[in-house]
A and B are shown apart, each in its own frame.
Chain A
Amino acid sequence: MASVTLTGLVKEYPNGVRGVDGVDLQIADGEFFALLGPSGCGKTTLLRTLAGLEAATEGRIDIGDRDVTGFEPGERDVAMVFQDYALFPHMTVTDNIAYPLRIQKVGRDERSARALETAQGLSLAALMERRPAQLSGGQQQRVALARAIACHPQVFLFDEPLSNLDARLRLEARTFLKQLQKSLGVTTVFVTHDQAEALAMADRMAVMDGGRIRQVGTPREVFQRPANTFVANFIGATPMNLLDAQVVGGALDFGGFTLPVPGEGGRASAWPVAEGDKVVYGVRPEYVQCLPAPAEGAARGEVTAVENLGVSVLVTAQAGEQSVRAVVPESDEPALGDTVHLAPSSERVLLYRADGDGELIGR
């Protein structure tokens, strides 16, 4: 068991591309930590650099109280579960699980005993003599997990652990992985491109883009207070409304309609913004009400699209120059072309700088 500390970590490829571009990160002992981001954001490169499969160009990696930056993968006391599980097809389940122990020169009998013990915890005991080709996808995944667990590493690294499972199995495996991680208590870093996975499983998560970390926090923090417009846009089942606005006369002018500055009293002075500032007004569609009649703090719009989400409906309306999305209960579904009044819940609204990295404006 150990914490993981990354300091100024850079991974630059020979062609000059920076897969990881200056990452500072502390992962606590026993934490279940997710690296989330779109493809090509550097999350897998970060994981592989942490594993030692890629050499860090700059910066430092500490696991526990050891600086492992220059260590070979085998010396770092970490175990990795690969996306394709990477089970050796010519070995039985026992030999696969015991492979790292064999490299560590553990005796044959002890190897088999430890493999069996680990396998029992994962309900694999009946399959010990099988080859990987004779196992289902879920079973293969658990053999790969068992191989990682059996050598008692200080840190687990999972690369897209669920992406090779079918949709139903994935939900079950999610719960199972989370329970397993909690019962083992081993620090775990996993990579995923699926925000639902990260939000559901992780204790804390980092959202990455372009080799940099854009936000670190608990899933709740990341979901409720995205630190910048990139995270705001990336996280959420339906993308957040990000509307361009300008502070005019103490209110927000959206070009065609005006809304009060969110918060009590609706005064711009409560925010660190000045008259004339350009801001981005962020509110999740789930927090926008769609009213039939005009109301205080509502924008008038015309419905341009209605998408069924099951128990709710995603309504897209054109208000002035802005396209605004709202999620409404299925019973209140408006028709195309209806005039609606869109009222954001002001306590859920976030304001971002319109320039730079689109940072959150603190309230």
Chain B
Amino acid sequence: MAPSTSPAADLAPAPGGAPAPAPGPVATTPRARRDGDVVGLGRARAVAFVAPALVLVGVFLVFPAAWTLYLGLLDYSLTGSGAQAPVFVGLGNYTSALSDPAFAKSLYLTLLFVGGSAVLGQNVLGFSLAWYFRAAQRPVRATLSVLVLLAWILPGSVVAFLWQALLDRRNGTLNALIGTTDMAWALDHPMAVIIVFNIWRGTAFSMLLYTAALSTVPRSHLEVARMAGATRWQQLRDVVLPTVKRHILTNTLLITLWTFNDFSPYLLTGGGPNRESEVLPVYIYKEAIIGGHLGYGSAISLLLLLANLVIAVVYVRLLRTREPEAA
């Protein structure tokens, strides 16, 4: 074994004599470097270029958020004295939200909805579809893609109607398919219905993203594992998942945020029965628009926004720590 040969192949091209590029300025003046002005536009012109984008962001993003923050501090409502002369109530809306059992329940349902339909459902199903059909014949893959994409691209109202027809108590397709009679799916299992619905509706995105991600796994890496005798599961664990880890994180972040803010459960169950499927966006809608408590609704919206921010920050942190070490 162990040959004593000094492997000549070690001789990485030595930087013998070749002087490293001087760290001094090449094209930029010291002042430009200090300002970080790489392009050399000057501060005023640079600001002028960025300004239109900043104005748009300000008008459509920052202002509504700030306005929501402001509204959340008032007892602003759609009708009555709260509409005429809203009174400043401080953190009153927040304390009443946090002490409201309906809010707590809605938060719990939201976490169930997000965890069940996005983090688990769409993620796992999307990955599985991408994984099992990656080597399938082209017509098979094309058909699958069309079917899955269809659920994604149909308008929400159309989809809601289709599902109403599917789940209907008397003439529903599902009852006809599995031979149950008089089964009111949306009433008896509202959470299960909206979770399955959202998996069905959103899996296409995860599948597309994972199909692209899986195509970045080098074939030779899988073959090394096969040569070593790795099972399918070991190939997945040792080669595929580490390679697509960052894709998984990114996908999970996106679908988590989308599902958190998803209003379409309302189209299926209306949040009912008896608030059994009232996820936060539905709760906010009911409180603010139907109940008329705009101030209260704004306060909860802000809480939802904060939750989204926390999730985003956690994922971005995770992504950053997973960055491969530079060569």
Q: Which residues of B contact A53 (CB under 8 A)?
A: 223, 226-227
From B8, B227, B230, B243, name the one whose CB has the most chain A CB atoms within 10 angstroms. B227
Residue with the greatest number of chain B CB neighbours at <10 A, chosen from A75, A88, A166: A88
Output the nearest chain B residue to A85 by Cβ-Cβ distance: B220
Nearest Cβ distance between residue B278 and chain A, in whole angstroms? 43
Cβ distance B237 to chain A, nearest Cβ, rounded Å: 11
B16 at the interface (CB under 8 A from A): no
| SS of A interface (majority) | helix
Q: Which residues of B contact A278 (CB under 8 A)?
A: none
Q: Is the CB of A184 within 8 A of B1?
A: yes
Contact segment of B115-123, B148-156, B165-173, B319-327: B319-327
In the assembled complex, the Cα of A35 lies from the Cα of B203 at a distance in Å of 47
Q: Chain B: which residue is nearest A185 at the CB level?
A: B1
Interface check A13, CB cutoff 8 A: no
When the two chains form their complex, are residues A74 and B5 in contact, meaning their CB atoms are under 8 A apart?
A: no
B-side contacts of A188, CB under 8 Å: none
Q: Which of A52, A83, A172 contacts B8 (CB 8 A)?
A: A172
B23 CB within 8 Å of chain A? no
B residues in contact with A236, CB < 8 Å? none
With contact pairs A121-B3, A176-B5 given, residues A75 and B327 touching in the complex (Cβ less than 8 Å): no
CB-nearest residue of chain A relative to B223?
Answer: A53
B1 to chain A, nearest CB (A): 6
Question: Are B9 and A169 in contact (CB-based, < 8 A)?
Answer: yes
Closest partner residue, chain B, to A165 (CB atom): B9
- A59 neighbours in B (Cβ, 8 Å): none
Q: Which residues on the B side are within 8 Å of A73 (C-beta)?
A: 223, 226-227, 229
Q: Does B228 contact A (CB under 8 A)?
A: yes
Known: A84-B218, A122-B7, A175-B8. A133 touches B325 (CB 8 A): yes
* CB–CB A104/B229 < 8 A: yes
Q: What's the interface size class on A, roughly? A: 35 or more
Contact yes or no, A118 B2, CB < 8 A: yes
A90 to B234, CA, bound (A): 15
Nearest-neighbor residue (CB-CB) of A79 within chain B: B227
Q: Is residue A39 within 8 Å, beta carbon to beta carbon, of the partner chain?
A: no
> What is the 8 Å Cβ interface bit string for chain A, positions 314-340, against chain B (1 contact, 0 not)?
000000000000000000000000000
Contact with A along B1-43 (1 / 0, CB 8 A): 1111111111111000000000000000000000000000000
Pairs across A and B, CB under 8 Å, 22 listed: A52-B226, A53-B223, A53-B227, A74-B228, A74-B229, A74-B230, A80-B223, A80-B224, A83-B220, A90-B245, A100-B228, A118-B2, A123-B7, A131-B324, A133-B324, A133-B325, A136-B12, A139-B9, A139-B12, A142-B10, A165-B9, A175-B8
List 5 A-B pairs, minimum CB-CB distance, nearest first. Answer: A74-B229, A121-B2, A172-B8, A136-B12, A138-B9
Binding site for B on A (CB under 8 A): 51-53, 72-75, 78-80, 82-84, 86, 88-90, 99-100, 103-104, 117-118, 120-123, 131, 133-134, 136-139, 141-142, 147, 149, 151, 165-166, 169, 172-173, 175-176, 179-180, 183-184
